[in-house]
Structure 1
Amino acid sequence: MAFTDASLTALRVFREVAERGTLTAAATALGYTQSAVSRQIAALERAAGAPLLERRHDGVRLTPAGRVVVRRAASVIDQIDATARELAGLPDEHAVVRLGWFASAGAGLVPRALAALRETHPAISVVTREGSTPALVRALRAGTLDLAVIAAAPPFRPPDSETPALVVRTLVERGLCVAVPAAHPLARGEFVEIADLHGQRWIAGTGDDRVMGVWPGLDERPEIAHTARDWLAKLQLVAAGCGITTAPASLAPVAPAGVRVLPVRGGPSEQRRLQLARMPGPQPEAAGRVAEALRVAAMEAGA
């Protein structure tokens, strides 16, 4: 079987697997059974004459051949979709930019940048979606995102070990803070001493959330009173007096009433970076305009 015999369905399935990171997640997203996804991948591998995925205990990873196929598949699928839109008489979407962002970036930075972009470049349409940093990186590799706002913590390694390396630009770097109820004793000053974090009840994140949760490096077993994936749910639990949580400084202006977001002193600085990532290569003008709007918004607000 030659690779030219590969079906468009198989390419779409493969791209979904590359983005989701597991066959199960791809099957759920597509509404297929896992066996149907496996059959499509097997057919594509036969056409390619090489394994495209490395099966691991925690999901799948693209092989070198798989990285070639997913890159080309993204281009083919986008061209087919553009052709279908043109034949249907729909507007050309060449100025559409697909932007991904992790949760707290959507609370301030992304809306500010998009509002400014509408004023300066109203012809550019931006389609956005939220995701964890690992999921956004996979989506960039799969070609379903053009840009991604991601989070990074020390020692600030590259977002993944795949090749080619992603182009990553730091938008801003600031210290991690804690969100405390306004009536809490810790809220009386303009900062919190790290020693005072001992013995507190914490509201922790789940899954890939490394930004909002327990203060890193505490030399005790923390008491986790609640866990939540959504940052707003965490801050509302803080407002209700249910505990405290870590938070990026960018959430201070949008924190709900009854919450103070304060810096922490007295220990090693816990720096966090807000980064913008994309695949290497020439960048379309529209994507460059969106990237610049994000950079300016981060600089002006201190993100």
Structure 2
Amino acid sequence: MELTLVGLRVLRETAERGTFTAGAQALGYTQSAVSRQVAALERAVGTPVFERRPDGLRLTRAGRVLLRRARTALDELDLAAREIDDRQGSRRARIGVVPSAGIALLPRVLAVLARTTPELEVSSRVATTPALVRAVRAGTLDLAVVTSRPPHRPLDPESPALVVETLGESGLLVAVALDGPLGERNALTVDDLAGHPWIATPSRSDEPQLGVWPSLPGRPRVLHTAADWATKLALVAAGAGLTTVTPLIVPALPAGVRALPVLDGPAEVRRSVAVRLPDADLHPGLVEAFVEVLDDPASATGP
């Protein structure tokens, strides 16, 4: 078996991102170069490492075994490079969060880490839950904080099982314009939501559409879709529609927007969870920083 470092890096990046195209973009390669590297890997191990599917790539059993070993080897080489670069006295943490945490939670967590563990070099990434889980599995993130909804199924089917630690739970809210028809309310009912237009996140094959109240009867009237929170909340402020938010978003609500609970119907609870590999060597202050910020009552209050 003859494996190359380039091939192992291609395996890791492609496994994380789920397609040859995305893996090539991350590495700065052409898609054909990535395909050739994967083909060479598969010749070396004598079996496919990826299962080609309509919705993207999935690691085969051989691919999972190879990725696990490749991740260890690449991490050790990265560590050696840092030591040679006279940075052996520092530690690094690579964290990822979903967009709802990125807009308000992540800056506060980074501030806590800067205060409590100034020796820790932190890099971060904001992405969807499926993308973050793939990154943790591939070893390019040490920790991801994502949102889980009932019935809280496993985040992926691969083994070993990811370590999932609950950081907190909160109810889903609806963001409304202060000068709109619901702006004077302190709480809402499902009937109050009927007939209003909605602002949603574009739907994806690996993640359901977000932004519409889950138990809303009938077909929702989605007039606007946006992937980023700044656009969604600006549209709410302009009176273009409603969107759902978690309490994590509340400290970052712009002027003219408030978040209200919905009192009736099924409870819509969202759970913030930290995800890592079983053998992840985490700095002890990393999870504690997220817990400290999530425990702050200011993260659950708003205008």
Aligned residues, how many? 297
3-state secondary structure, aligned to 1:173:
strand
Letter of the structure 2 residue corresponding to residue 74 of structure 1: R
* In the alignment, structure 1 residue 73 sits paired with structure 2 residue 39: no
Partner of 1:10 in structure 2?
7
Query: What do residues 108-164 of structure 1 show as CA deviations (whole Å, max 9, x unaligned)?
Result: 222222212222221112110111000000000110000001111111111111111
Asked if the contact 1:211–1:247 (Cα under 8 Å) also holds between the matched residues in 2, the reply is no
CA distance in 1, matches of 2:246, 2:60: 36
CA distance in 1, matches of 2:175, 2:195: 16
Q: 2:127 aligns with which of 128, 131, 139?
A: 131
3-state secondary structure, aligned to 2:155:
coil
Cα RMSD over matched residues?
Answer: 1.7
Asked if the contact 1:195–1:266 (Cα under 8 Å) also holds between the matched residues in 2, the reply is no
CA distance in 2, matches of 1:210, 1:262: 22
* In the alignment, structure 1 residue 153 sits paired with structure 2 residue 146: no
Letter of the structure 2 residue corresponding to residue 192 of structure 1: L
Structure 2 gap segments, 5+ residues each: none
Partner of 1:186 in structure 2?
182
Letter of the structure 2 residue corresponding to residue 178 of structure 1: V
Letter of the structure 2 residue corresponding to residue 219 of structure 1: P
CA distance in 2, matches of 1:171, 1:84: 34
TM-score between both structures, scaled by the size of structure 2: 0.93
What is the aligned-residue identity percentage? Answer: 52
1:69 Cα deviation from its structure 2 partner: 1.1
Letter of the structure 1 residue corresponding to residue 94 of structure 2: R
Q: How does 1:227-238 map to 2 (within 5 A)?
A: 227-238=225-236
Query: What do residues 77-101 of structure 1 show as CA deviations (whole Å, max 9, x unaligned)?
Result: 22223333333x3413751000000
1:211 Cα deviation from its structure 2 partner: 7.8
TM-score between both structures, scaled by the size of structure 1: 0.93
Partner of 1:170 in structure 2?
166
Query: What do residues 3-25 of structure 1 show as CA deviations (whole Å, max 9, x unaligned)?
Result: xx211111111111100111121
Query: What do residues 170-217 of structure 1 show as CA deviations (whole Å, max 9, x unaligned)?
Result: 111111110000011212121111111110011111145658411113
Partner of 1:273 in structure 2?
271
Q: 2:255 aligns with which of 254, 257, 262?
A: 257
CA distance in 2, matches of 1:192, 1:199: 14
Q: 2:45 aligns with which of 32, 48, 52?
A: 48
CA distance 1:49–1:93, change in 2 (3 Å) = farther
1:259 Cα deviation from its structure 2 partner: 0.2
* In the alignment, structure 1 residue 201 sits paired with structure 2 residue 190: no
CA distance in 2, matches of 1:92, 1:68: 29
Q: 2:79 aligns with which of 69, 78, 82?
A: 82
Asked if the contact 1:212–1:231 (Cα under 8 Å) also holds between the matched residues in 2, the reply is no
With 112-121 and 40-49 compared, the bigger mean Cα shift is at 112-121
CA distance in 2, matches of 1:42, 1:21: 16
Letter of the structure 1 residue corresponding to residue 281 of structure 2: P
With 76-85 and 178-187 compared, the bigger mean Cα shift is at 76-85
Structure 1 gap segments, 5+ residues each: none
4+ residue runs over 4 A deviation: 208-212
Q: 2:221 aligns with which of 223, 241, 249?
A: 223
Query: What do residues 45-72 of structure 1 show as CA deviations (whole Å, max 9, x unaligned)?
Result: 1211222111111111111211111122
Q: 2:23 aligns with which of 7, 26, 30?
A: 26
1:34 Cα deviation from its structure 2 partner: 2.2
CA distance in 1, matches of 2:100, 2:57: 28
Asked if the contact 1:168–1:276 (Cα under 8 Å) also holds between the matched residues in 2, the reply is yes
